[in-house]
Amino acid sequence: MQKKINIAIDGYSSCGKGTLAKALAQSLGYLFIDSGAMYRAVTLHMLQNGVDVNDESAVVQALDDVRVGFVNNAEQQSEVTLNGVSVEKEIRNIEVAAHVSEVARIQAVRTKMVALQQVIGEPKGVVMDGRDIGTVVFPDAELKIFMTASQEVRARRRYEELVAKGDDVTLAEIAENLKHRDTIDANRENSPLTLTNDYRVLDNSHLSREAQFVLAMGWVDEAIG
């Protein structure tokens, strides 16, 4: 049997990490894990319970009541759960996006999520996307991909995605949110998004889904050997 590897996909907000991660996982028969969904679920809990996300000690206290996990839906797609209930839809709204980077910068939140991510990745055969997967969660991942795309392309893609779902958002507010999150995510003290030289860089501003998949599968083949 072919050896199983872990694939880490990191990069800026809304540059298609999830799309590529899902496609790779499906083609390889691997598990896809959206680590951002976990931070979004924690954020949703804080918002639902009126916790001020800028009050670190309040967030840390409320964290004790948070259990994040994954379940498969009827289409066999994984959905994130908060205290046993799927919150896959709720975590994608702009309110959660507006506060998630404040929550994700808190070390206690990261420690709890990373521990779970490492348990999931232990048997290998996982494609996980996020900000610190190749640097902190799976520093020994056999393949690390750093994805990026121009700010305009990223904002437009996320805007179209949300509008298609019926959300009432503007392109300007999406662009502002992406900038806000990228600034915090790349500059925070704990596990900032960092491009180290063991990543393969994939700029998909001008690449189709198919083209980026073919490129990444070439790297997978090399990594599996």
Q: Which stretch binds ligand CDP (CB under 6 A): 50-58, 97-105, 159-167, 198-206?
A: 97-105
Look at residues 183, 137, 114 and name the one whose alpha carbon lies nearest to residue 7.
137
Of positions 24, 33, 104, 106, contacts ligand CDP by CB under 6 A: 104
Answer for which of 32, 36, 88, 145 binds ligand CDP (CB under 6 A) is 36
Query: Among residue numbers 121 through 150, which ones bind ligand CDP (CB under 6 A)?
Result: 130-133
Those residues with Cβ within 8 angstroms of residue 220's Cβ, 6 or more apart along the chain or in another chain: 5, 7, 24, 28, 143
* Nearer of residues 13 and 81 to ligand CDP, judged by Cβ: 13
**Neighbour-count burial for 110-137, b at 16+ CB within 10 Å, e otherwise:** bebbbebbeebbeeeebbbbbbbbbbbb
Can you tell me which of 30, 185, 199, 202 binds ligand CDP, judged by CB under 6 A?
185
Residue 199 is classified by DSSP as S
Answer yes or no whether residue 99 interacts with ligand CDP by CB under 6 A. no
In the complex, minimum distance from the CB of residue 221 to ligand CDP, in angstroms, rounded to a whole number: 26
CB 9 within 8 A of CB 21: yes
- Closest to 68 in 3D by CA, of 93, 86, 50: 86
Question: How far apart (Å, rounded) are the C-alpha atoms in residues 64 and 59?
Answer: 9
- What track of x and - describes contact with ligand CDP for positions 5 through 24 (by CB under 6 A)? --------xx---x------
Of the candidate residues 100, 126, 155, 162, the single one contacting ligand CDP (CB under 6 A): 100
Shortest approach of ligand CDP to residue 214 CB, angstroms? 22
d(CA 203, CA 199): 12
Where does this chain bind ligand CDP (CB under 6 A)? 13-14, 18, 35-36, 39-40, 100-101, 104, 130-133, 181, 185
